[in-house]
Amino acid sequence: MDITKIIKKLLIDKGMTQTELAKKLNTSSGNLTNKLRRNDFRISELEEISEAIGYELKIEFIEK
């Protein structure tokens, strides 16, 4: 799953830029850009991101 693509889509849906998100997360734009490029997030980071853009994070385990 490409979390970065999901985050970018949510930002577009909310009309928010990565710079605005970085400000809400109290980080630099460069730091957020690097994090998105690596597509490597801790659950706590995803919770902060979802809260900052007005969403609730839901993680599910689905049997194959």
Sequence spans of domains, the chain: 3-52
How far does the chain reach from its first CA to its final CA, in angstroms?
Answer: 15
Give the tens place of pLDDT for each residue, 6-58.
999 999 999 999 999 999 999 999 999 999 999 989 999 999 999 999 999 99
Task: Report the C-alpha gap between 32 and 29 in whole angstroms.
Answer: 5
pLDDT at 40: 87
pLDDT at 31: 94
- DSSP of 13-63, one letter per residue? HHT--HHHHHHHTTS-HHHHHHHHHHT---HHHHHHHHHHTT---------
Choosing among 1.10.3470, 1.10.260, 1.20.58, 3.30.1450, the CATH entry for 3-52 is 1.10.260
Q: How many residues does the chain have?
A: 64
Residue appearing with tokens 């991101």: 49
pLDDT at 1: 67
